[in-house]
Amino acid sequence: MYCRNVYLRTGLVMPTVGWVVDLGANRGLFSVWAALTGARVIAVEAQQGFAAEIRGLATCNGVAERISVEVAVASGAAVSGTAVGLIADDSLWATASHGTPDRPTDISIPGLMSTFGIDCINFLKMDIEGGEFAVLAADENLDWLNKVEQLALEVHPSAGDVVSMIERLRCHGFIIDLRNNDGDRVSVSSESVNYAYCRRPRTA
């Protein structure tokens, strides 16, 4: 992640103030990086066993007070993340390295913003194994996207309609740069859309 600059390689910038929401925090590498840079961070991770690793890494780096860990499935307000992508497959969930048989509860971005009193998300990182199609579903009220400055999204084409999802992001004012796993620019119709880097138009 660090060496390939996976989440910032098209010019997105880690904020030095404000809020970072890390959906799919895994063991917390991105969350700790964001906290060390100066942001307050919400680390959302569905695999329960990673929570202790995130907190331990945060403590080792002196940023435990800047990171809130939420063990939950990233979802829409209406569409459950347990119904979309890798986590919807019982056999795949059973092989998760840090999960338990019982999936955790759903959590939505609007819910997080309300709980933590967030008016603006300065950076949203989303790597949730196909669950992006629940968080950004057509049936969702996505007005909360207007309060997101930057979004780095890992895309899993087998889990949903990429073209429609990207169009919804564009309708909320984002300039979007689509890349494959090697970092090469691709079109929205390509089968190798693996990352979407979304930012607001720069003003003079």
Return the CATH number at 118.
3.40.50.150
CA distance 8 to 148: 16
The total number of structural domains in the chain stands at 1
Region 15-20 average pLDDT: 98
- Among 96, 70, 91, 73, smallest CA distance to 83 is for 73
Range of the domain at 122: 19-199
- CA 58 from centroid of its chain's CA atoms: 19
Q: What is the pLDDT of residue 203?
A: 63
Residue 148: strand, helix, or coil: strand
Does residue 4 sit within a domain? no
Report CA dihedral (179, 180, 185, 189) to the nearest 10 degrees.
-90
Q: What is the pLDDT of residue 5?
A: 83
Does residue 7 sit within a domain? no
Calculate the alpha carbon distances from 107 to 43, 74, 111, 154 in Å.
12, 5, 7, 19
Q: What is the pLDDT of residue 25?
A: 97
Does residue 8 sit within a domain? no
Does residue 50 sit within a domain? yes
Query: How confident is the prediction for the chain on average, in pLDDT?
Result: 94
Q: What is the pLDDT of residues 137-170, one digit of tens each?
A: 999 999 999 999 999 999 999 999 999 999 999 9
Q: What is the pLDDT of residues 33-90, one digit of tens each?
A: 999 999 999 999 999 999 999 999 999 999 999 999 999 999 999 999 999 988 888 8
pLDDT score of 92 more than 90: no
